[in-house]
Structure 1
């Protein structure tokens, strides 16, 4: 049974922080729940690629790409690694590519949209820092829940 974001908002009120409804469901699932792993990067997905090779343990990769539409920060290769390594989902304040492949993968991927251009690799970006986008701040380790209705942050997991 998945935890519905609407139920979380009803139960926790303002303690359930809701991202602005900017994100499209681009993966094969809409539902996700797990601890946030935060990444800040701009048009460089080097840190995302590195994290995709680690064991995900159901965690949610939360990426602040600055909302740039000039390139995609995630494509089919990285998404397949995330699935293979047990990540619970991805929330990207930015764009993805290989949308047709992503729709067929058993992982929730929420992003602003799709763009065909790949990112550059400069080994830039920060992992584990607080991110602010879409009206909310998410801290590494926060609990995220997402579904068809949106994405909610709680500061700690449900009991």
Structure 2
């Protein structure tokens, strides 16, 4: 996988202007061994409850990026070390969390890319509330299931289609 988000922005400036390519604000921290990852989005909308995150990561990822709209909560973690291992084992390309993770040292040894707002030691609820494969909004950027997500050391992009 060879791409640079800077080049994608330069090469697709008209998509940026049209709103079919968006850049997430630079507020996400990088975790995991994969600095660069991309793939079609699978979306979740949850709030301080990660039961749906677990059940989704238990399925084959097939190179998708799991985009979790956690409402930007900084009060509980939605992804931890066990889920990082699960994502790696099941072929997910990466995870973007509009919220927190925990067990960052465990996630950092997984061959997966993770972006999150912060770390937090408190675990999430396990009630199973939330929705999968719905339009979400993270940091002011809309993400539809199937949109393409590109992440590297310079940023995170969301595109309405796969970019060349």
TM-score (norm 2): 0.94
SS at match of 2:63: coil
SS at match of 1:93: strand
Map of 1:100 onto structure 2: 105
Please tell me whether residue 157 in structure 1 is matched to residue 147 in structure 2: no
RMSD after superposition: 1.0
Unaligned runs of 5+ in 1: none
Unaligned runs of 5+ in 2: none
SS at match of 1:105: coil
Please tell me whether residue 45 in structure 1 is matched to residue 55 in structure 2: no
**Misfit runs of 4+, over 3 Å:** none
Map of 1:11 onto structure 2: 11
Give, in whole Å, the separation in 2 of the partners of 1:100 and 1:158.
32
Shift in Å, 1:17: 0.8
Shift in Å, 1:92: 0.3
SS at match of 2:38: strand
Q: Is the 8 A contact 2:60 2:90 kept in 1?
A: yes
Q: 2:146 aligns with which of 132, 141, 144?
A: 141
Give, in whole Å, the separation in 1 of the partners of 2:128 and 2:141.
26
Q: Is the 8 A contact 2:8 2:163 kept in 1?
A: no
Q: Is the 8 A contact 1:22 1:112 kept in 2?
A: yes
Number of residue pairs matched by the alignment = 159
